[in-house]
């Protein structure tokens, strides 16, 4: 008996019944509107029947931990039954919620192995329920009538995951979902002509669109990452990493925000000498980042517009919400790429506490232990690229925020003091981007100047502290 | 744990001996639909790493055959317990236990025998120059457990071994006894003219199988006992004195009587290769590609080799088990250890005569079992306040049940 042939099908069949969709009474496809924010939909993934009359197998090792993001076909664990050691892969994208067994435990076939939280972009795409229905139907026979396909095609926007149907009906056998196949028919494109960029060379909707636009326009020469490559060097296609996929989705949404950039340079001399004094005894050593974070929080009290959220779900009726708390996302460069964990309630934290939280988060980020709650509810973002370098930067706002602060690297520059004498000053460039749909230049400038004032005269920060 | 860096691995080979492998060659090889390999090396760590590389890197629809012969080594399954499956005291270059208890076998014990934990499941096997290993890697869509066992049986029958068949456990066995009267279908690999329901003697096992299944690929490998000179010695290696004293999770080996088929290695390998080509190649012939030590240049192969070679992989992948001398009637002190991931997580000494009692010292929690050099020195350090004489008695017992390993990381 083929294990792998059975496993995804069985698992999905079982899980389909777990969602209690009566197959004989198929409902008319309807869009579900979710006014509430993201639904956490947790699906148990059952251990598939391996055949050979085996009822349990031993769990050898886990490749994931609760909180880890997985994509479809990522390795979850390895189990062993008599003579076979089997790698079990994830049936869908999501976040691991719970492992039902520890290493060396005997896992029972047909019982839950792991719980996976299918976090889709629930708000924008109109509901995880319908995407789950897609999966159920796609695997349940591949027969979707035109109406359902249309709806599926329009509601499932660009997504990293593909619910590849094993039984490919095309003679070519290229991998693509029914939705994508329908699109190729609509656009009169031969699916085997399209270069797939999804996992395992799957053809995605973006690929079809790109193929079509390439046909109609002049062929744009391929952008080489490095110029001057000899012709014999081979290109290498790579699927986007999970972090890149998230970044892609988020930044694509940010394209609709009209950014303006305001930069100012702060004299960090006072902060630096304060830090030097404190670091004699402070453990761990303070950097300038906690000071900047607290200064921004103090300034935002006077400029709450920059801490607000803009909801543009209905383009005709944009909603602006002034957020009460200051939750700052702090961009971090980790081994897996750019992550933005959040420090919650900065308005209630002292500078030392902010520093401690920063350390905690960067530890967790380095060890891949960040949980979804570490990423939620940011109201403003601070991106310190100064650890790497940079002067003026133009950071990109993540919606629904309306502002972001980019920090470069501080350096010594020549300047004039109040007597006209040439002195050395430590200058740090602060680059503010704001959403010009709600924030005007003057407001942003005033906030930026206030932060600069607080940093150049730390005493004034003490005056403003609660 | 000693890790061998890549520069060292092939360093003993002269430049002319090392065949440089270009990256493109490997990638090209891995994409052909039908691939047939034979290893020039008898290093079990290398051969298993090659296998694993081919499993991971070959294109999803390709089918691959790999044949290799290992120097004397014991290969335990992915999740097995080396202390339970193997008589570890025999593995070190100077086997002491043998000379005392089995004087007649003293001369025939082999020198250094490697201990390797493979990545597929199943039980423990002994490899030597009279045993040929075959591996078939194919797409998981078309995989069945019998498919390639049948292929090898066909190869054996083509060489005149008419007693060979595939049994219910997907092993290849030789039926014993007289030829039966019934006519038997020659194309059925599960029955021979010698098969009978109530055979006087059990069939002899000549090949065992194990599998590793990933999402897209299935690996099936098996042994084949052709002409092993060590059949009378192997049972000693695979019988551990600690069996009555351990309770373990994990797969236990199922032992069967074994026998040699009595064919030459080359004969057998040729026949298997031919059957493979008939099954998978359009031209009914495949080009046999040699692979060997030069493949260590490849980063993936090298990493896998290092991992298999490491003592951590060999010993620390053991599922949880308990050791206790409760079954030893002669002991005056009970000793019990819990070992998890190859490290001691708990231990207690309890006198059988009085209420004396000692727990494992905190510092000793996490001691790696395979790193204990001598129990006589280790035991007093682990447990405080224990009578010296009792300690020595227990240490002697532990030396036989959990023999200290004199082995360092495998040599290339």
Closest by Cα among B55, B17, B23, B31 to B298? B23
pLDDT at A204 over 80: no
Q: Give yes or no for a contact between B116 and B45, defined as CB atoms under 8 angstroms apart.
A: yes
Compare all CA atoms of chain A with the CA of B143 and give the residue at the minimum distance.
Answer: A2
- Spell out the CATH class of A42-119: mainly beta
Per the DSSP assignment, residues forming a β-bridge with B136 are: B65, B220
Residue B141: list chain A partners with CB under 8 A.
Answer: 2, 4-5
Q: What pLDDT does B96 receive?
A: 47
> What are B's interface residues with A at a Cβ cutoff of 8 A?
60, 77-79, 119-123, 140-145, 169-170, 209-216, 218, 249-251, 317, 319-320, 340-341
Is the CATH code 3.40.50.300 the one for domain A256-464?
A: no
- Check: CB of residue A330 under 8 Å from CB of residue A343: yes
Q: What's residue B409's pLDDT?
A: 43
- Taking an 8 Å cut-off on Cβ atoms, the answer to whether B144 and A2 are in contact is yes
Using alpha carbons, select from A74, A126, A79 the residue that is nearest to residue A96.
A74
pLDDT tens digits, B286-298: 778 888 888 888 8
Contact A85 B218 (CB under 8 A): no
Chain B residues whose CB is inside 8 A of the A86 CB are 212-214
Provide the pLDDT for residue B224. Answer: 94
Cβ contact B232:B245 at 8 Å: no
The DSSP-derived string for A25-85 is: SPPPP-PPP--SS---EEEEEEPPP-STT--EEEEEEES--TT-EE-TT-EEEEEEETTEE
Selecting among A40, A82, A348, A440, the annotated active-site residue is A440
Question: Does the distance separating the beta carbons of A86 and B212 come in below 8 Å?
Answer: yes
Whether the pTM exceeds 0.80: the reply is no
Query: Is pLDDT at A321 greater than 60 in this prediction?
Result: yes
Distance from CA of A84 to the nearest CA of B (A): 4
A134 is catalytic: no
Segments of chain B with pLDDT less than 50: 1-19, 95-100, 103-104, 107, 408-412
Contacts of B212 in chain A (CB under 8 A): 84-87
End-to-end CA distance of chain B: 16
Residues 6+ apart with CB under 8 A from A113: A44, A45, A46, A47, A76, A77, A88, A100, A101, A107
Cis peptide before A424 (omega within 30 of 0): no
Give the A:B interface size as CB pairs under 8 Å: 87
Percent of chain A with pLDDT over 70: 72
What pLDDT, in 10s, does the model give residues A238-259?
777 767 777 888 889 899 899 9
Token look-up 């997580």 returns: B345
Q: How confident is the model at residue A6 (pLDDT cuts 50, 70, 90)?
A: very low
Cβ-defined contact of A4 to B215 (cutoff 8 Å): yes
* Domain boundaries defined on chain A: 8-35+127-163, 42-119, 256-464
Residue B91: predicted pLDDT: 83
CA distance B255 to chain A (A): 13
Q: Which residues pair with A62 in a beta bridge?
A: A77
What contacts B105, CB < 8 A, 6 or more positions away? B98, B232, B233, B236
The length of chain A is: 466
Residues of A in contact with B122 (CB under 8 A): 82-84
The token duo for A223 is 């952008």
pLDDT of residue B362: 87
A357 pLDDT exceeds 70? Answer: yes
Cβ–Cβ of B140/A2 closer than 8 Å?
Answer: yes
ipTM metric: 0.77
Give the nearest partner residue to A80 out of B79, B144, B209, using CB atoms: B79
Numbered residues of chain A with Cβ closer than 8 Å to any chain B Cβ:
1-5, 52, 58, 60, 73, 78, 80-87, 89, 103-104, 106, 200
Q: How does DSSP assign A250-283, residue by residue? A: HHHHHTTS-EEEEEEEEE-HHHHHHHHHHHTT-S
A34 counts as catalytic: no
Q: CA torsion A18→A23→A29→A30, rounded to 10°?
A: -40
Mutate to test the interface with A, among B59, B167, B168, B211 (most CBs of A within 10 A): B211
């Amino acid at each position: 008996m083929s294990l792998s042939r059975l496993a995804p099908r069985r698992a999905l069949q079982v899980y389909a019944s777990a969602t209690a969709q009566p197959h004989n009474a198929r409902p008319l496809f309807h869009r579900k509107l979710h006014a509430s924010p993201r639904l956490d939909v947790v699906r148990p993934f059952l251990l598939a029947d391996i055949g050979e009359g085996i009822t349990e197998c031993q769990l050898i090792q886990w490749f994931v931990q609760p909180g880890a993001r997985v994509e479809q076909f990522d390795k979850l664990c390895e189990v062993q039954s008599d003579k076979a050691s089997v790698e079990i892969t994830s049936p869908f994208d999501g976040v691991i919620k719970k492992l039902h067994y520890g290493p060396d435990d005997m896992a029972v076939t047909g019982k839950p192995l792991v719980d996976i939280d299918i976090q889709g972009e629930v708000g924008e795409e109109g509901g995880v329920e319908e995407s789950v229905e897609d999966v159920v139907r796609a695997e349940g026979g591949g027969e979707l009538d035109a109406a359902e396909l249309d709806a599926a095609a329009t509601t499932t926007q660009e997504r990293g995951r593909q619910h590849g149907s094993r039984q490919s009906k095309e003679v070519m056998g290229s991998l693509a979902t029914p939705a994508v196949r329908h699109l190729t028919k609509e656009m009169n494109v031969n699916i085997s002509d399209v270069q797939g960029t999804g996992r395992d060379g799957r053809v995605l909707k973006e690929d079809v669109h790109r193929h079509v636009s390439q046909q109609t326009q002049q062929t744009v020469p391929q952008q080489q990452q490095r110029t001057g490559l000899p012709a014999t060097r081979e290109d290498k296609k790579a699927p986007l990493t999970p972090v890149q996929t998230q970044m892609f989705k988020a930044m694509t949404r940010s394209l609709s925000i009209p950014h303006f950039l305001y930069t100012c340079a702060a004299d960090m001399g006072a902060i630096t000498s304060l830090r030097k004094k404190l670091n004699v005894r402070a453990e761990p050593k303070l950097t300038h980042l906690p000071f900047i974070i607290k200064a921004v929080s103090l300034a935002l009290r006077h400029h709450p517009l920059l801490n607000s959220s803009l909801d543009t779900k209905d383009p005709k009726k944009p909603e602006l919400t002034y957020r009460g708390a200051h939750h700052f996302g702090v961009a971090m460069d980790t081994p897996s790429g750019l992550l933005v964990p959040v420090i919650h309630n900065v308005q209630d934290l002292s500078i030392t506490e902010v520093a401690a939280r920063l350390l905690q988060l960067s530890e967790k980020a380095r060890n891949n232990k960040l949980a979804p709650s570490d990423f939620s509810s940011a109201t403003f973002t601070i991106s310190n690229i100064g650890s790497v370098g940079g002067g003026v930067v133009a950071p990109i706002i993540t919606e629904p925020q309306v502002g972001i602060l980019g920090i470069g690297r501080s350096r010594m520059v020549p300047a004039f003091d109040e007597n006209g004498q040439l002195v050395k000053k430590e200058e740090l460039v602060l680059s503010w981007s704001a959403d010009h749909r709600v924030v005007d230049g003057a407001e942003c400038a005033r906030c930026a100047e206030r932060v600069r004032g607080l940093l150049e005269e730390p005493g004034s920060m003490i005056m403003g502290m609660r | 744990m000693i890790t061998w860096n890549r520069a060292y691995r092939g360093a003993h080979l002269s430049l002319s001996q090392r065949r440089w492998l270009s990256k493109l060659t490997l990638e090209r090889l891995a994409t052909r639909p039908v691939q047939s390999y034979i290893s020039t090396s008898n290093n079990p760590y290398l051969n298993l790493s090659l296998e694993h590389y081919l499993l991971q890197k070959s294109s999803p629809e390709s089918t691959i055959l790999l044949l290799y012969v290992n120097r004397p080594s014991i290969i335990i399954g992915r999740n097995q317990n080396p202390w339970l499956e193997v008589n570890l005291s025999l593995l070190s270059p100077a086997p002491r236990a043998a000379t005392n208890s089995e004087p007649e076998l003293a001369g025939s014990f082999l020198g250094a025998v490697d201990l390797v934990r493979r990545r597929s499941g199943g039980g423990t096997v002994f490899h030597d120059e009279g045993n040929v290993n075959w591996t078939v890697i194919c797409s998981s869509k078309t995989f069945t457990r019998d498919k390639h066992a049948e292929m090898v049986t066909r190869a054996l029958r083509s060489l005149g071994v008419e007693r060979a068949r595939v049994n219910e456990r997907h092993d290849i066995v030789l039926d014993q006894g007289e030829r039966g009267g019934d006519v038997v279908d020659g194309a059925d690999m599960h029955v021979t003219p010698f098969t009978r329901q109530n055979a006087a003697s059990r069939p002899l096992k000549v090949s065992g199988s194990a599998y590793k299944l990933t999402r897209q690929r299935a690996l099936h490998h098996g042994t084949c006992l052709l002409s092993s000179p060590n059949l009378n010695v192997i049972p000693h290696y695979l019988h551990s004195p600690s069996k009555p004293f351990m309770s373990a999770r994990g797969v236990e080996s199922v032992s069967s009587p074994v026998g040699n088929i009595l064919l030459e290695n080359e004969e057998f390998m040729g026949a298997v290769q031919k059957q493979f080509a008939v099954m998978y190649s359009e031209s009914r012939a495949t080009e046999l590609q040699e692979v060997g030590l030069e493949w260590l240049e490849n980063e993936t192969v090298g990493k896998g080799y290092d991992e298999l070679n490491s003592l951590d992989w060999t010993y620390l992948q053991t599922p949880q088990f308990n050791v206790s001398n409760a079954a030893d009637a002669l002991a005056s002190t009970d000793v019990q250890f819990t070992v998890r991931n190859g490290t001691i997580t708990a231990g207690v000494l309890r006198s059988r005569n009085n209420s004396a009692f000692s727990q494992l010292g905190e510092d000793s929690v996490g001691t790696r079992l395979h790193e204990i050099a001598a129990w006589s020195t280790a035991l007093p350090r682990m447990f405080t306040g224990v009578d010296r004489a009792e300690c020595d008695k227990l240490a002697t017992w532990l030396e036989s049940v959990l023999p200290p390993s004199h082995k360092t990381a495998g040599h290339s």
